[in-house]
Structure 1
């Protein structure tokens, strides 16, 4: 191994250490408690060395989110191949995200914080691109399922809406519910409980509104729960980890 190769590997290993330790500190102490100097000391490096990898704390947080997004996307990549109908596979996409959020409760808080205007402006262009590209398998899975549904006739043609745009509805429902659920006490103040059960029913209402077959009545909770369990069973058989949210 040449000198340059060795230095590059050492740099990559050091950066991975910083990201892993930052992730641990965020989970233990909270997002806003993370300090660059303390992180560097915890990794036994000078603070200046940390800044050789990340131009700002926001850059570091983007790197942490990128690593987690790669893990998040792994489950999505398997969804288009599930032995289910296209509508059920769209539900599997939603469930995969809910399961990831349950296992990684700080992830959506971190992303929500990152994409606020003042924070996102301090993330370097390279880190922004890396974070967005990490989520490509998610949009690719949605595109594949919607395209197949249109081709098979499960989903009637919708004028002027692409496969990617068709995924905006479930995406907005999911992100919105995650944000509401993570705001402590907000839903309780309105006497709203079991947010993810509501999310699934709203999902089915949206799919039925689009006339996505086979239609399912969101006003029948037992039918909704049965469909959720059926899809979860298929996910488990396929090796997609599930954790009920």
Structure 2
């Protein structure tokens, strides 16, 4: 191995160490408690070495969010190939993300913080682009399912909305409910419980409103539960990572 290749590998290994340790500290001590000097010490490096990799704390947080987003995106990359109908695969997108959020309770809090205006504006363009690129497989999977549903006539032909615009609906529902579920005490104040059950029912309401076949009435709890259990079982059978 040449000197340049060795140095590059060492740099990549060092950056991976910083990101993994930062994520560990965020999980154990909270997002706002993370300090650059303490992270460097925990990794047995000088603070200056840490700043050779990340220009700011905002860049570091974006890198942590990017790493977690890549793991999340791998789940979605597999969903268009599941042995399910197109509507059930769209539900699988939601269920896989619910499972991911429950296994990684800090993920949505971190990404919400990173994408707030003040933090996002202080993050370098390169780190912002890495995070956006990491999420691309998610939108690509959604678009592929919508396109297949139209080709199969599970959905009516497009009028004004393209695949990307139609995919915005489930994405907005999911992101909004995750934001509410992770705002500690907010839903409790309104006596709203089981947010993910509400997310599943609202998803069915949206898909049925689009006339996505086979239609499911979101106000029939037993039908909704049966479909959830059936789809979740297939997701976990074909995507082992969904169990972790």
> What TM-score, normalized by structure 1, do the two folds share?
0.97
Kept in 1: contact 2:155–2:212 (CA 8 A): yes
Kept in 2: contact 1:177–1:196 (CA 8 A): yes
**1:33-80 alpha-carbon deviations (Å, 9 max, x no partner):** 000000000001111110000000000000001100110011101100
Query: What is the distance in 2 between the residues matched to 1:75 and 1:117?
Result: 28
**Which segment is superposed worse, 152-161 or 19-28?**
152-161
**Cα displacement (A) at 1:236:** 2.1
Q: 1:6 to 1:241 in 2, by over 3 A?
A: closer
**Cα displacement (A) at 1:241:** 3.8
Kept in 2: contact 1:232–1:242 (CA 8 A): no
**Cα displacement (A) at 1:180:** 0.5
Check if 1:141 corresponds to 2:141.
yes
- List 4+ stretches of structure 1 deviating above 6 A: none
**Cα displacement (A) at 1:237:** 2.2
Unaligned runs of 5+ in 2: none
- Please name the residue that 1:151 is paired with: 151
Check if 1:23 corresponds to 2:20.
no
1:39-118 correspondence to structure 2 within 5 Å: 39-118=39-118
* 3-state DSSP of counterpart to 1:164: helix
Check if 1:217 corresponds to 2:226.
no
Q: 1:241 to 1:226 in 2, by over 3 A?
A: farther
**1:160-209 alpha-carbon deviations (Å, 9 max, x no partner):** 21101111111111110111011111101100000000000000000000
* 3-state DSSP of counterpart to 1:155: coil
Kept in 2: contact 1:235–1:241 (CA 8 A): no
Kept in 1: contact 2:236–2:243 (CA 8 A): no
* 3-state DSSP of counterpart to 2:106: helix
* 3-state DSSP of counterpart to 2:213: coil
**1:96-119 alpha-carbon deviations (Å, 9 max, x no partner):** 111110000000000000111110
Kept in 2: contact 1:102–1:243 (CA 8 A): no
Query: What is the distance in 2 between the residues matched to 1:62 and 1:102?
Result: 21
Query: What is the distance in 2 between the residues matched to 1:184 and 1:157?
Result: 41
Query: What is the distance in 1 between the residues matched to 2:4 and 2:38?
Result: 29
- Please name the residue that 2:6 is paired with: 6
* 3-state DSSP of counterpart to 1:105: coil
**Cα displacement (A) at 1:235:** 1.1
**Cα displacement (A) at 1:239:** 2.9
| RMSD (Å) for aligned C-alpha atoms | 1.1
Kept in 2: contact 1:101–1:108 (CA 8 A): yes
1:159-238 correspondence to structure 2 within 5 Å: 159-238=159-238
The count of residues paired between Structure 1 and Structure 2 equals: 244
Query: What is the distance in 1 between the residues matched to 2:206 and 2:235?
Result: 22
Query: What is the distance in 2 between the residues matched to 1:45 and 1:238?
Result: 41
**Cα displacement (A) at 1:243:** 5.1
